[in-house]
Every structure is written in structure tokens, then in C-alpha cells.
């Protein structure tokens, strides 16, 4: 194998596939990046739960493949000057890397022994603009749980039903649900590990270019123009999340999204990082007072609202509110409260494409 | 108001704890030592009878036996000392609510304004010392002053069972003649640096220009200069700053194992212990880590995150998952360990979806159950009640 590739392009490819490379593997080859030179150059990282293939343009002078230890390869390329990089596999899988005045010879491994991410005939496919999928992931991923004892909640539910693609995530204290119209008439339901979803989010662009989702057995893949991500799905039944959404409310308010976000930001300034304090929300008929008192001091914020229900005093972890508010683009939102110890939901006013549910904190009187 | 700060320092703590349950050790040279069977073990705490022979902490067992051939050596039982320490702290908290535990056997007490309750400082100290002796059968020394530093220096002056007052006005007479090496916070290296500046006593340190000192010692200079003058404004802060970061147990197996079921039982047993300890310290952790040491001594640690917990079931479940995922089963294991860390202070009583929707198990109820087991174990012994999976089958 002998290729010439631009440093920046190679670096970007490594950064993407490296996320799928194991850092502590039992076999050395699993800690490597697979490089294949055909018509183009393809880099692959694969840790079985997640496989990433990235294709980039290069001047291929001799075809072939090799596996290079990912961490060192990444470090070498990162520190090279911005110039074309020559990579050649010599005898015994020795890899020569050359760039301007720098020269490396490092040990590689036989590419033929690399465990490739599976290629399969998919049971169905679904194409949608990258920007749409990106937005759906962004609006749900923050609510993913991190309790490995409750594995299913560490994933994001992706469900296609009746011309709609729905996504949902919850960690036991809050929940995010959002949806988008799709053209294809497909039906499926999978739970994708949150950390794999994070990688998918990273490669998606805010563009109309398509991403194609396909599925077979316990695998789901996301195909982009120059990148393919294959993820294992999480086994088990996802919670019946819609049953947690209350139907009756005590207090319903309309509020400006950015005003609320900024006030919450300021209110949480005096709640320290390691000790979690709640913010206290007082809802009257025309305003909302957000206050917090900690050992460091106190803060108070006032926002105009339209309240079509009763007054209420309720406490929240401000982070849960901020995580949701940050991913809302709508100028105004509706927040519906059930009781000081029951869930509240944040929904849009003009449409029904998202719903965030947040559980409160019991306030000590 | 003038502050009143006590430092209560337990004397020869580990061995004194042992003596409370093994009265035969009283009056004869004895010490707690790491693995007395091996000559490589070291002395962790020697009683005063052994100290007369020159036996000191950190001395090797071999050296100690050379100096005192009849010394009785006892292997350490840290959970017992922890429990005794907790009893001491509980007793002390009857005298003032402001206690800063500095280590397992030392604590600062802010006694400011306690005269009405406990009398003049010396009288109060005498009561505390008698109380510890009568109720717990342990010895302590107490230093009395108006700040933490001087209280610590005072406690060092008379051991065992000494009560020493060292007020700021006593500093020139009582503190200044001492060697700088005797100063709390000054180690050999700093002492050497000071010796190069011709500073050998605390008095010489107190009189030197701190600017000269800071050239050699940096930021630290100002602090030690202040302390040498008896000034220390650091408040007695309940909960020591170096508070517990993790709770863990590990065990070297009687023989190497290759069987997953056996390994799970070990993890189960250890999880029970750390969960019990976590509950005793009122801690909930969110990171579970396991340690696997293979027969060739290669050691790996792997960790995972769970919801904050002090329940054995949660800890062992995470432990099992880590074990199954990371144990290379072709390799026999000689040691297994598990720990919980990532303790967080939580001022939020967060409502959870599980209690709302009534799904999953009831953690509140389970914690009550496990706490009841804790009490049974404390009363009747660790092995008296356990999970059915851990019951050792009678070989007959």
C-alpha cells in the first residue's frame, strides 16, 4: 500500500474513526485503525458495539491495507505540519510515514486479520436529510441515562411509525421526545446506545444531504456520503414513555424561551458544581419568580408570563431545565405543571414536534 | 470572643482498640503490625510498653522483634478501628457540634462558648479524657489553645493522657525554644531549607522576615511564618476536607479461580461489606470499580457509572457486569476487589419517574431492609446473616 493524502483530511478521518477504536482491548489489533487503499482511502475503527468507516480522497499509488495502532498514529498525524503525508507499507507490515522533513517507521499489523464491521442486506432503509436527523438527536440525547444497571435507559429510542420518525430518551428524572415527518412508509423500533448516538451526531451536518438508515438483526447503520456508522442496538424493551406524560394540569404558562433560559443560567450561577441545589419557581398569574439560595448567597429573577391556571411554588434542578431549553429554537413555549411533586412538560405552541418532561425537586419549606 | 480549640489525639489508637477486646494485651508489649507472619510486615501501632523497648511505628516486624523479643503482634482489623473511631467521634460530638476529624484517631473541636456547658477549658478536657477512658476504654491526649495549629502542637507536648494548654501568650516561652522539625506541617525537606537559612528553632523562624523566607519557600513561607508566631485563622470545619473519596474492599483468594460463579460470590460478599460501610458513613456513590489481579500479578481495573446508591444489590450488579465484560477467562484470578466512589452531596430531593410510575424496585424500602441487616450484623457478627448464595455448604 502506498498513498499520499493531505494531513488535514487524514486527521479529520482519524478523529472520526478513533471513537470506535477500543482503548483497552485484549487483542492488539482491536486497538488499531484499519486503512485500506482502493480507488479511494478508507479508514475503519471497530469495537463491535460501534463500527465507523470513513472514506477520503487520496492519491493511491499502490493498493493494499494495514492496521496501525490508533493512539500513536493519531498523535503522529496530529503533530505533523500541514502538508501532504506519504504512507507506505513496507515488508513485514512496517509502515513508513513521511511528511516534509519528518520520517517515521512504525510497526503495523496485517490488514487481512482485521475484524470488519458487518455488511448485511438490510430489512429496510429510510433516507432523510442530515439536518433533520441531527436536530432529532440533539433534542433527545441530553436526557439519556448513565446508569449501567439500567442499560436500556442509556439508549435513545428511534421509532418509525405512520410516516413519522420519533425519538425518545429518559433517565428517570426527565425525558425528551421529538418527531419529524418522513416520506417512506417504514415501521421499526430500535434503541441505540447513547454514546454511539453521540458519534452519529458528530458526523451529521446541518445540510439537506441525505443520511440513510438501514437495519438488520441487532445492527443499525447510518450511511452518509463519505462515512458509515454501524451500531449495535440495545436489547430489551424501552419504557412505555407516553404513559408518563400527564394529561391534566394545574398550571399552564406561556413564556419566552430565551428569557427563561437566560434567567435559569443566572439563577444557577450560585449553585455550585459539586453540590446540587434546586431553584425555586414561584408562579403567579402574570409573572414567574426564579430564586435560589445556597451557602454562597442568593439570586432572584423575574419573568413575565401568561398563566392560564393556578399559582404554584415548585423546585427544580436547573440543569434539567437548561438542557431542554438549549435545544429549543421556538421563540415561545408552553410549560404545563401538574403539582409541586409531579411532572411538568415543556411543549411548543405552534406545533407538536417536541415534548420535554421534567420532574421537580421536593422543596423544604 | 477568644476562640477555644481542642485537639483530641487518641494514643496508640489501633493497639488500644485491640486491647479493649483482648484485655490480656494490657500491660505487656504489643503492637498492631501488617501481616506479622511475614518478616516484611511493618509496625502500624505499638503500645507504650513496647515503645519502652524502642519499638516505633513503620519499623519492620523483624527489627521490632529484635528490640523486644516478647512483643505480641496482632494483625490489623481496620473496620474495627473505624467503628471505634466512629464511637469516639460520637462521644466528642456530645461536647460540641463543631468537630473536624483530621484522621481516624484525631479531631479538632471548636469549644468556643462551651464554658457554660463544660466548664473552663482544662476542666472540660479532663471530662472528655475521663469520658473516653470510662466509656470506651481508650486513651487520648488533648491540646488546648485558641487555634488549630497551637492545639495540635500542644497535644504533642505530653503523651499519653496529657492535657496541655498552649495559648498565644505562651508562644514565646513554650513554642519558640522548640526545633522547627517539631512544628506541625514542617517535614525534613523544609527543615533542611530552613537550616540553610540558619533557622533552627521555631523562635528563629518567627522572627525572620517573611520576604526572605518566601524566596526559598514560596507561598508556603507566609503560612509557616504566621504559625510560628502562633497565628492560625483556619476555622474548625466539620467534615474534614480530605473526606472519604471511595470505599473499597479486595481479597486475595485462598487459591486462584477460573470459575465465574465463584468470582461472582466473592464480588457479592465484598459488595455487602462496602455497601454496609457506605451506609454507615451516609454516602451514596455513583462509580463502581472492580480490580482483577491475575495469577501472574497483572492487574486491571475497570469502572462504570450507576445511579447514586448504597445498596449492595446495585453495587454487585454493576460489579458482575464489569467482571463478565472484562475478565479474560483463560487467566486464573488471584485477587478480586470492588469499590464505590463518586460520592456527591445532594441538596435536592429529586422526584423520580420510578416512584411516580411505580416501576422498578422500591429503593427506600430496600435501604431500610439493608440497614436492618447492618444492625443485626453489628450485634451478632458479620457472618450471622447473609444472602442465601453466600451460605457455605456443610461439607458433610
Q: Tell me the mean pLDDT per 10 residues along chain B, length 396.
A: 92 93 91 70 89 90 90 84 88 88 91 82 93 94 95 92 94 93 87 88 90 82 90 83 75 86 91 86 88 90 90 92 87 92 74 67 75 76 69 54
Are residues A213 and A267 part of one domain? no
What are the pLDDT digits (tens) for B82-113? 888 988 998 998 888 889 988 889 999 999 98
Are residues A218 and A257 part of one domain? no
What pLDDT shows up at residue B396?
42
Residue of B319, B347, B363 to mutate when probing chain A, most A C-beta within 10 A = B347
Are residues A170 and A155 part of one domain? yes
Grid coordinates of A66: 494495514
| ipTM value | 0.79
B262 inside domain: yes
Cβ of A342 under 8 Å from any chain B Cβ?
A: yes
> Of A242, A275, A299, at which residue does a domain stop?
A242
Are residues A231 and A142 part of one domain? yes
Contact criterion met (CB below 8 Å) for B61 and B33? yes
Q: What total number of domains does chain B contain?
A: 3
Cβ of A11 under 8 Å from any chain B Cβ?
A: no
Distance from CA of A287 to the nearest CA of B (A): 24
What pLDDT shows up at residue B345?
63
Are residues A350 and A336 part of one domain? yes
User: How many beta-carbon pairs below 8 A join chains A and B?
Assistant: 72
Q: Give B175's DSSP letter.
A: I
Are residues A97 and A195 part of one domain? no
Contact criterion met (CB below 8 Å) for A312 and A340? yes
Range of the domain at A109: 2-113
Are residues A257 and A224 part of one domain? no
Q: Is the pLDDT of residue A59 over 80?
A: yes
A275 inside domain: yes
Q: What whole-number distance in Å separates Cα of residue B356 and Cα of residue A87?
A: 59
What are the pLDDT digits (tens) for A312-347? 999 999 999 999 999 999 999 999 999 999 999 999
Chain A partners within 8 Å of B354 (Cβ):
172
The answer to whether B296 is annotated as binding is no
What pLDDT shows up at residue B359?
53
Are residues B314 and B209 part of one domain? no
Which of the residue ranges A189-193, A251-255, B238-242, B322-326 would you say has the lowest mean pLDDT? B238-242
Under an 8 A CB cutoff, do B354 and A172 touch?
Answer: yes
Are residues B180 and B270 part of one domain? no
Q: Is the pLDDT of residue A221 over 50?
A: yes
Q: Can you name the residues that pair with B290 across neighbouring β-strands?
A: B302, B338
B29 inside domain: yes
Chain A partners within 8 Å of B356 (Cβ):
244, 342-343, 359
Distance from CA of A26 to the nearest CA of B (A): 8
Contact criterion met (CB below 8 Å) for B202 and B176? yes
> Of A218, A242, A266, at which residue does a domain stop?
A242
Q: What is the arithmetic mean of pLDDT over A67-96?
A: 96
A109 inside domain: yes
A365 inside domain: no
Cβ of B364 under 8 Å from any chain A Cβ?
A: no
Q: What burial class does residue A79 get, using C-beta atoms within 10 Å of its C-beta: 0-12 exposed, 13-18 middle, 19+ buried?
A: exposed
What pLDDT shows up at residue B220?
82
The answer to whether B105 is annotated as binding is yes
- Give phi and psi for A42, each to the nearest 5: -120, 130
Grid coordinates of B75: 494483625
Are residues B270 and B383 part of one domain? yes
Are residues A340 and A250 part of one domain? yes
B284 inside domain: yes
> Of B179, B202, B228, at which residue does a domain stop?
B228
Give residue A121's pLDDT band: very low, low, confident or very high (50, 70, 90): confident
CATH number, position A305: 3.10.150.10
Cβ of A147 under 8 Å from any chain B Cβ?
A: yes
Chain B partners within 8 Å of A276 (Cβ):
344-348
Listing DSSP states for A35-64 in one string gives: EEESSSEEEEEE-SSEEEEEEE--EEEE-E
Q: Among all residues of chain B, which has the CA nearest to that of A148? A: B306
Mind telling me the catalytic residues of B? 106
A204 inside domain: yes
Residue of A25, A144, A148, A175 to mutate when probing chain B, most B C-beta within 10 A = A148
Cβ of A270 under 8 Å from any chain B Cβ?
A: no
Q: What whole-number distance in Å separates Cα of residue B288 and Cα of residue B290?
A: 7
What pLDDT shows up at residue B80?
82
Taking residue B394's Cβ as centre, other Cβ atoms within 10 Å add up to 5
What pLDDT shows up at residue B241?
44
Q: Among all residues of chain A, which has the CA nearest to that of B322? A: A148
B101 inside domain: no
Range of the domain at B39: 13-71
Q: With pLDDT > 90 as the criterion, what percentage of chain A qualifies?
A: 83
Are residues A225 and A175 part of one domain? yes
Chain A partners within 8 Å of B351 (Cβ):
173, 341-342, 359-362
Contacts of A267 (CB under 8 A, 6+ apart): A279, A290, A291, A292, A299, A301, A318
Chain B partners within 8 Å of A364 (Cβ):
349
Q: What total number of domains does chain A contain?
A: 3
A363 inside domain: no
Measured in residues, chain B has a length of 396
What pLDDT shows up at residue B369?
84
What pLDDT shows up at residue B242?
46
CATH number, position B184: 1.10.150.20
What pLDDT shows up at residue B37?
59
Grid coordinates of B100: 473536624
Of A77, A76, A19, whose CA–CA distance to A45 is shortest? A19
CATH number, position B285: 3.30.1490.100
Cβ of A296 under 8 Å from any chain B Cβ?
A: no
B53 inside domain: yes
Amino acid at each position: 500500500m502506498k498513498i499520499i493524502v493531505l494531513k488535514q483530511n487524514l486527521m479529520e478521518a482519524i478523529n472520526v474513526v478513533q471513537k470506535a477504536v477500543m482503548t483497552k482491548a485484549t487483542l492488539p489489533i482491536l486497538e488499531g485503525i484499519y486503512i485500506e487503499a482502493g480507488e479511494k482511502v478508507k479508514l475503519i475503527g471497530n469495537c463491535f458495539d460501534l463500527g465507523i468507516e470513513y472514506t477520503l480522497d487520496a492519491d493511491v499509488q499502490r493498493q493494499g491495507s494495514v492496521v496501525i495502532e490508533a493512539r500513536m498514529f493519531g498523535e503522529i498525524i496530529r503533530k505533523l505540519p500541514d502538508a501532504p503525508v506519504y504512507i507506505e507499507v513496507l515488508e513485514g507490515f512496517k509502515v513508513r510515514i513521511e511528511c516534509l522533513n519528518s520520517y517515521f517507521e512504525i510497526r503495523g499489523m496485517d490488514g487481512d486479520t482485521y475484524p470488519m464491521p458487518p455488511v448485511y442486506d438490510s430489512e429496510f432503509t429510510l433516507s432523510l436529510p442530515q439536518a433533520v436527523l441531527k436536530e432529532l438527536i440533539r433534542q433527545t440525547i441530553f436526557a439519556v441515562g448513565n446508569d449501567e444497571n439500567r442499560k436500556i435507559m442509556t439508549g435513545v429510542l428511534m421509532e418509525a411509525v405512520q410516516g413519522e420518525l420519533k425519538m425518545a430518551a429518559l433517565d428517570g428524572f426527565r425525558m425528551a421526545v421529538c418527531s419529524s415527518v418522513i416520506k417512506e412508509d417504514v415501521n421499526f423500533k430500535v434503541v441505540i446506545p447513547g454514546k454511539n448516538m453521540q458519534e452519529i451526531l458528530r458526523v451529521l451536518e446541518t445540510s439537506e444531504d441525505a443520511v440513510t438508515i438501514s437495519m438488520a438483526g441487532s445492527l443499525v447503520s447510518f450511511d452518509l456520503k463519505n462515512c458509515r456508522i454501524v451500531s449495535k442496538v440495545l436489547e430489551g424493551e424501552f419504557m412505555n414513555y407516553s404513559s408518563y406524560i400527564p394529561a391534566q394540569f394545574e398550571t399552564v404558562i406561556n413564556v419566552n424561551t430565551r428569557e427563561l433560559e437566560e434567567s435559569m443560567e443566572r439563577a444557577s450561577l450560585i449553585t455550585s458544581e459539586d453540590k446540587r441545589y434546586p431553584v425555586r419557581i414561584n408562579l403567579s398569574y402574570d409573572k414567574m419568580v426564579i430564586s435560589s439560595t445556597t451557602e454562597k448567597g442568593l439570586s432572584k429573577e423575574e419573568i413575565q408570563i401568561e398563566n392560564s391556571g393556578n399559582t404554584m411554588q415548585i423546585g427544580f434542578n436547573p440543569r434539567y431545565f437548561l438542557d431542554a431549553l438549549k435545544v429549543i429554537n421556538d421563540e415561545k413555549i408552553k410549560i404545563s405543571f401538574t403539582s409541586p411533586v409531579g411532572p411538568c412538560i415543556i411543549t411548543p405552541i405552534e406545533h407538536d414536534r417536541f415534548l420535554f418532561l421534567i420532574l421537580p425537586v421536593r422543596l423544604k419549606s | 470572643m477568644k476562640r477555644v480549640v481542642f485537639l483530641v489525639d487518641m494514643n496508640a489508637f489501633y493497639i488500644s482498640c485491640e486491647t479493649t477486646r483482648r484485655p490480656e494485651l494490657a500491660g505487656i508489649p504489643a503492637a498492631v503490625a501488617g501481616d506479622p507472619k511475614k518478616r516484611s510486615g511493618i509496625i502500624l501501632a505499638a503500645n507504650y510498653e513496647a515503645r519502652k523497648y524502642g519499638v516505633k511505628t513503620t519499623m519492620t516486624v523483624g527489627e521490632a522483634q529484635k528490640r523486644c523479643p516478647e512483643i505480641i503482634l496482632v494483625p490489623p482489623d481496620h473496620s474495627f478501628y473505624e467503628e471505634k473511631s466512629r464511637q469516639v467521634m460520637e462521644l466528642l460530638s456530645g461536647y460540641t457540634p463543631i468537630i473536624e476529624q483530621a484522621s481516624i484517631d484525631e479531631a479538632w473541636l471548636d469549644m468556643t462558648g462551651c464554658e457554660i456547658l463544660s466548664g473552663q477549658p482544662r476542666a472540660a478536657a479532663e471530662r472528655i479524657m475521663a469520658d473516653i477512658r470510662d466509656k470506651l476504654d481508650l486513651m487520648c491526649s488533648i491540646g488546648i489553645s485558641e487555634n488549630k495549629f497551637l492545639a495540635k502542637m500542644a497535644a504533642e507536648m505530653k503523651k499519653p493522657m496529657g492535657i496541655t494548654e498552649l495559648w498565644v501568650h505562651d508562644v514565646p516561652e513554650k513554642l519558640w525554644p522548640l526545633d522547627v522539625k517539631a512544628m506541625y506541617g514542617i517535614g525534613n525537606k523544609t527543615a533542611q531549607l530552613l537550616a540553610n537559612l540558619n533557622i533552627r528553632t521555631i523562635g528563629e523562624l518567627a522572627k525572620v522576615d517573611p520576604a526572605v523566607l518566601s524566596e526559598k519557600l514560596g507561598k508556603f513561607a507566609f503560612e509557616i511564618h504566621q504559625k510560628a508566631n502562633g497565628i492560625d485563622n483556619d476555622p474548625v470545619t466539620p467534615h474534614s476536607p480530605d473526606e472519604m473519596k471511595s470505599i473499597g474492599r479486595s481479597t486475595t483468594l485462598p487459591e486462584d479461580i477460573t470459575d465465574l460463579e465463584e468470582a461472582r460470590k466473592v464480588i457479592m460478599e465484598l459488595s455487602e461489606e462496602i455497601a454496609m460501610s457506605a451506609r454507615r458513613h451516609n454516602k451514596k456513590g455513583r462509580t463502581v470499580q472492580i480490580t482483577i489481579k491475575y495469577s501472574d500479578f497483572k492487574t486491571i481495573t475497570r469502572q462504570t457509572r450507576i445511579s447514586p446508591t448504597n445498596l449492595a444489590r446495585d453495587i454487585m450488579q454493576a460489579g458482575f457486569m464489569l467482571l463478565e465484560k472484562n475478565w479474560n477467562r483463560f487467566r486464573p484470578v488471584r485477587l478480586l476487589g470492588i469499590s464505590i466512589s463518586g460520592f456527591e452531596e445532594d441538596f435536592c430531593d429529586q422526584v423520580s419517574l420510578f416512584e411516580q410510575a411505580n416501576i422498578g424496585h422500591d429503593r427506600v424500602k430496600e435501604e431500610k431492609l439493608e440497614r436492618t441487616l447492618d444492625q443485626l450484623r453489628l450485634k451478632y457478627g458479620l457472618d450471622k446473616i447473609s444472602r442465601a448464595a453466600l451460605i457455605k455448604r456443610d461439607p458433610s
